[in-house]
Amino acid sequence: MKAISGALLSLSLAFVATSAFADGDPEKGERVFRKCQACHAVGEDARNKVGPALNGVVGAEWGHVNDYRYSKSLLEGKEEGRVWDEETLTAYLRKPRDVIPRGRMAFAGLRKDQEIADIIAYLGQFNEDGTKK
């Protein structure tokens, strides 16, 4: 019974959290993205750095940047058909090591739900070629 109650609570919290992230502000997300710019880039002139360029990442399959050398763990997720949907991005931006335990990203994660929603809204503006939608 406890397991069922816990599962229902987790599902309901995930639904509430996902609904809240639909309200992200891309302009605020651009400011939050400054924390990421040492390793990542977006836009028409974006190039891979320590991390891959993030153009078109929202909705893309894991490992979608062809000229970037991903970790084995991330490539395993790609083989499984994993996608950077809003739910996965939310979990990853909150605690990267919980989503990809042996990943390379050194960033510990964002603490504020609104910052996560905002950065997803910001990244969601970019097509794979770096142009804005």
Tens digit of each residue's pLDDT (9 = 90 or more) over 79-115: 999 999 999 999 999 999 999 999 999 999 999 999 9
- Distance from C-alpha of 66 to C-alpha of 46, rounded to nearest angstrom: 14
pLDDT of residue 114: 98
Q: Tell me: pLDDT of 3 over 50.
A: no
What pTM did the predictor assign?
Answer: 0.82
Could you give phi then psi for residue 91, rounded to 5 degrees?
A: -65, -40
Question: Please, which pLDDT band fits residue 10 given cuts at 50, 70 and 90?
Answer: very low
Task: Report the run of H or E that residue 24 belongs to, with start and end.
Answer: none
Q: 79-88: buried (b, 16+ CB within 10 Å) or exposed (e) per residue?
A: eeebebebee
The total number of residues written for the chain in this structure: 133
Domain over 2-123 is classified CATH 3.40.50.300: no
Question: Encoding tokens for residue 40?
Answer: 């990542």
Q: Rounded CA gap, 46 and 49, in Å? A: 9
Could you tell me what percent of the chain has a pLDDT over 90? 83
61: three-class secondary structure by DSSP: strand
Q: From CA 46, how far away is CA 55, in angstroms rounded?
A: 8
